A and B are shown apart, each in its own frame.
Chain A
């Protein structure tokens, strides 16, 4: 029998890969290379041997920090490139291969240069903004002054005396430094301050001015014609120009303080028209000069950024890899002599030769005198689960993994799901006309797979759910083989009998009816009896036998297999497992009872659950009929083109969105449920953990 099983072709997907626990002893000089080669191979999962140490207590913390710093710089470049609206080239240019030190120096240079040009252009931008604001203030506020003066002359002659003079602004170069010197000459009369402020703040600003001067002021405003770029956020800001008329020295200090508090920039405006014009001319000429300088600066910067952009992707990949290598190296331990690094991890047995080859190559390439020692060890931990899937089976494997990752070497439901999932889906969708539409849609997706594969796919979504909700890497080892043996004899066998004598029989009857067309009546009384016997069988013996074993052990007569497992536990006391040997009969019994009841009830209710196959397909066909008869045929009955078109549109809409999209979703959902709940809870533990090898390919995928 065993021979026969061994001779069968291997079922790759049925059982997870056989794994082995290996220890690597790598000489320090070749460690980095060896690990990076292993990362390229991607078939070894390292175990963290330093989990008790915090990140900065580990060996290669400095290298990790340097990588972090470099990736920060790279992110900075990327941000700058995006901000400048340039495209970083997707296809990395093949430049000379740099090592990390060279790259670090280069990055630092680039960053330095970029920061310097940025700060320069920011300064320029600031001056430019100020001039631009000044220009606008001059243009607008000049208008106010003229009109208010004219107004004032008409009404009150007194005002015309209070001409604001700006004699001391002959030197335009110092215009901005002097900023504001409102009305130094005239102490008694009406004076004004003009400036510019963000549009959003105007209302509050006006209110505040009103309060501060107790209403003794006049506030004029006009929207600015151009938006001004905020040098910090690079956003365009709408601004408003204002002129405040007031009297008194105290009011002036107050208003200036308020201006400062609101971030309003004040600019002096001469009331003398000729002077005004002269200043405007000078400002304009300086503006155009500055504009030219700014443009040159931006061009220079963009050139630098483009040249960085050519290499950016490559550099990012490189830094990411290096960081991953050092992170992995941090999981290794130094041995006693401090000359070798010791690592432990899991790998599939088939990968042994490949790993050894890679390690040898690393030794050779780094001219190390000592080779890497690679040997298999025993481990108490249960190994990770690793299925080799292809693009087709991967989707179904992800569906199963989203429920729970198979225990090591556990029967994998994905094997069945490959067939049954599409089958159940099709039964529920149940309409070959719509099915063809769906098929066409699927074909389009397949044809564009390459293009779309960069975007999200279902597998990613599901594995995300997996990580979120189900991800728990439990370290459960089968308690002992005794339990397994008990489980097989007193749980699995009666469950099998129960299920087959009732529902297996049912299925058989159905098939017979299909074949012969007549009701068959087999030994159903006998089967019913069998099922009745199976229930106490799965309920009672297991807890009692467990109790017996326990009392036997307590009397000193150690039961063989249990004994070894005890010893193993003592050998590795620091393992995460705290095996509590508290034996509580009532608890175990209640547990067993719950299991049995659950199974018996579940057998009935889960079978009833498969009725959704029928319900959904019925719903689908009824809905299609309704849309066809009540919409399309009804509309076609009229001899009116508009009604027909409307009817056609409604029908097409309903077909596409309700019958195709919504029904697809619901059929998918129910197929998912039938697999996760009704199918898998019969046998599937799903409490293993996934094999996550150290692999550059995976790291790149995650980052993208």
Chain B
């Protein structure tokens, strides 16, 4: 019960932040907006107000998303400044996922000869590290590691994918998934080490994340050259599906087989039962909904770090929602506005 000495203040802060998440009523109002200005106006009554108030009027979706992300980043930085060990490490772990995404974004971008500055603007600010722009110099994985990533926290995750092959789309994607796998396993181990309610709640959340990735990898790799063994190697070594589910997923040839595998697991049965056969479009949303539900549950317990993870994820989901709504409004496709919005409360 010494949690509050170091974590009490920040837990209070994060719970306060959570109270600022948009509610279903907010989303309903947002969905009725006619223009982006309406969205701005509505958001100005929420916690996003100060971030949007100085934007000149013809708004773009990117501006809204950028400013909303900025708010999240500010909050994150504030918490990180206040945090002590081991919470600060925990908070840093949260950003590694974004780091991996950014690395992949830059590397793919350079491969397709995009401008580095342009790519940097697209990177998630939480996943920035000092020498990120230098990634463009690297020609293959080995160089990538040796030049840049050895300084970043991602370095240990690289041990499995150092090859001298030139980079191409396929092995970048494999690299992303290998990194992600290593990251999730490391994070999982770290949470287990912390013990207590943190371990309990985070193992549940991370297991869900790992399983979702496993399913996504399977579905995305159907019909590609990826061998079964390679596919099997990309699954994280924990989670509900580990190890038997992985064996079965590794041999799946189409979506219905995946479904067959997943329906054996009660928590995922409900997700798949919502989808009609042969459909994978709505799977993402179903997974997001389930994730949001689980994240919200993390707030039901006290004295653990899961709330920080949950809060960051919920905000990210909220920003995704806002982006979708703004896009729909901007492109005048309001009929599709509900397709991808996941209500948080």
The CA-CA distance from A261 to B37 in the complex, in Å, is 36
* Structural contact, B133 and A208, CB atoms closer than 8 A: no
A593 interfacial by beta-carbon distance below 8 Å: no
A-B contact pairs, 6 of them (CB 8 A): A54-B42, A57-B32, A65-B41, A72-B54, A212-B137, A261-B136
Residues of B within 8 A of A54 (CB): 29, 32, 42
A56/B33 contact (C-beta < 8 A), A208-B147, A254-B137 known: yes
A260 interfacial by beta-carbon distance below 8 Å: yes
Convert A42-63 into 0s and 1s, putting 1 for each residue whose CB lies closer than 8 angstroms to a CB of B.
0000000000001111000100
A56/B42 contact (C-beta < 8 A), A72-B53, A208-B131 known: yes
| Contact among A56, A204, A257 for B136, CB-based, below 8 A | A257
Cβ < 8 Å to A, chain B residues 54-87: 54-57
The CA-CA distance from A51 to B25 in the complex, in Å, is 13
A262/B133 contact (C-beta < 8 A), A55-B45, A68-B44, A76-B54 known: yes
Most buried by A among B32, B54, B134, B135: B134
Residues of B within 8 A of A262 (CB): 131, 133-134
B336 interfacial by beta-carbon distance below 8 Å: no
A61/B41 contact (C-beta < 8 A), A56-B33, A211-B146 known: yes
A410 interfacial by beta-carbon distance below 8 Å: no
Most buried by A among B33, B131, B135, B148: B131
Residues of A within 8 A of B160 (CB): none
Cβ < 8 Å to B, chain A residues 68-85: 68-69, 72, 75-76
Task: List 11 extra interface pairs beyond A56-B38, A260-B116, A261-B116, CB under 8 A.
Answer: A54-B32, A68-B44, A72-B53, A75-B54, A208-B147, A208-B148, A212-B147, A257-B136, A261-B131, A262-B131, A262-B133
A287 interfacial by beta-carbon distance below 8 Å: no
Taking the closest CB of chain A, its distance from the CB of B56, in whole angstroms, is 7
Residues of B within 8 A of A55 (CB): 41-42, 45
The CA-CA distance from A57 to B42 in the complex, in Å, is 11
Binding site for A on B (CB under 8 A): 29, 32-34, 37-38, 41-42, 44-45, 53-57, 116, 130-131, 133-137, 146-148, 151
Taking the closest CB of chain B, its distance from the CB of A215, in whole angstroms, is 12
B133 nearest CB neighbor, chain A only: A261
Taking the closest CB of chain B, its distance from the CB of A331, in whole angstroms, is 15
The CA-CA distance from A262 to B132 in the complex, in Å, is 9
Residues of B within 8 A of A254 (CB): 137
A351 interfacial by beta-carbon distance below 8 Å: no
The CA-CA distance from A211 to B45 in the complex, in Å, is 51
Residues of B within 8 A of A61 (CB): 41
A204/B137 contact (C-beta < 8 A), A56-B41, A61-B41 known: no
The CA-CA distance from A54 to B30 in the complex, in Å, is 9
Taking the closest CB of chain A, its distance from the CB of B96, in whole angstroms, is 20
Residues of B within 8 A of A411 (CB): none
B110 nearest CB neighbor, chain A only: A257
Residues of A within 8 A of B33 (CB): 56
The CA-CA distance from A261 to B129 in the complex, in Å, is 12
Residues of A within 8 A of B45 (CB): 55
Binding site for B on A (CB under 8 A): 54-57, 61, 64-65, 68-69, 72, 75-76, 204, 208, 211-212, 254, 257-258, 260-263
The CA-CA distance from A261 to B136 in the complex, in Å, is 8
B148 nearest CB neighbor, chain A only: A208
The CA-CA distance from A649 to B54 in the complex, in Å, is 53
Residues of B within 8 A of A57 (CB): 32
* Structural contact, B134 and A258, CB atoms closer than 8 A: yes
The CA-CA distance from A54 to B238 in the complex, in Å, is 46
The CA-CA distance from A61 to B41 in the complex, in Å, is 9
Residues of A within 8 A of B134 (CB): 208, 257-258, 261-262
A54 nearest CB neighbor, chain B only: B29
* Structural contact, B130 and A204, CB atoms closer than 8 A: yes
The CA-CA distance from A212 to B137 in the complex, in Å, is 9
* Structural contact, B137 and A257, CB atoms closer than 8 A: yes
* Structural contact, B54 and A211, CB atoms closer than 8 A: no
* Structural contact, B137 and A258, CB atoms closer than 8 A: yes
Residues of A within 8 A of B133 (CB): 260-263
A115 nearest CB neighbor, chain B only: B56
The CA-CA distance from A61 to B32 in the complex, in Å, is 14
Residues of B within 8 A of A258 (CB): 134, 137
The CA-CA distance from A698 to B147 in the complex, in Å, is 61
The CA-CA distance from A258 to B130 in the complex, in Å, is 12
| 8 smallest beta-carbon distances between A and B, as pairs | A261-B133, A54-B29, A56-B38, A261-B134, A257-B137, A211-B147, A56-B41, A69-B57
Residues of B within 8 A of A68 (CB): 41, 44, 53
B34 nearest CB neighbor, chain A only: A56
Taking the closest CB of chain A, its distance from the CB of B156, in whole angstroms, is 18
Residues of A within 8 A of B151 (CB): 204
Residues of A within 8 A of B41 (CB): 55-56, 61, 64-65, 68
Taking the closest CB of chain A, its distance from the CB of B36, in whole angstroms, is 11
A256 nearest CB neighbor, chain B only: B137
Residues of B within 8 A of A72 (CB): 53-56
A73 nearest CB neighbor, chain B only: B56
The CA-CA distance from A254 to B143 in the complex, in Å, is 12
The CA-CA distance from A69 to B34 in the complex, in Å, is 18
Taking the closest CB of chain B, its distance from the CB of A530, in whole angstroms, is 50
Residues of B within 8 A of A211 (CB): 146-147
Residues of A within 8 A of B37 (CB): 65
B150 nearest CB neighbor, chain A only: A211
Taking the closest CB of chain B, its distance from the CB of A108, in whole angstroms, is 11
Residues of A within 8 A of B131 (CB): 204, 208, 261-262
The CA-CA distance from A242 to B54 in the complex, in Å, is 39
The CA-CA distance from A260 to B119 in the complex, in Å, is 13
Residues of B within 8 A of A212 (CB): 137, 147
Residues of B within 8 A of A65 (CB): 37, 41
The CA-CA distance from A69 to B37 in the complex, in Å, is 11
The CA-CA distance from A54 to B37 in the complex, in Å, is 14
A64 nearest CB neighbor, chain B only: B41
B134 nearest CB neighbor, chain A only: A261
Most buried by B among A54, A204, A257: A54
Residues of A within 8 A of B148 (CB): 208
The CA-CA distance from A260 to B133 in the complex, in Å, is 8
Taking the closest CB of chain A, its distance from the CB of B134, in whole angstroms, is 4
A255 nearest CB neighbor, chain B only: B137
The CA-CA distance from A388 to B29 in the complex, in Å, is 40
The CA-CA distance from A258 to B135 in the complex, in Å, is 9
B53 nearest CB neighbor, chain A only: A72
The CA-CA distance from A257 to B55 in the complex, in Å, is 34
The CA-CA distance from A262 to B116 in the complex, in Å, is 11
Taking the closest CB of chain A, its distance from the CB of B244, in whole angstroms, is 44
B120 nearest CB neighbor, chain A only: A261
Residues of B within 8 A of A75 (CB): 53-54
Residues of B within 8 A of A208 (CB): 131, 134, 147-148
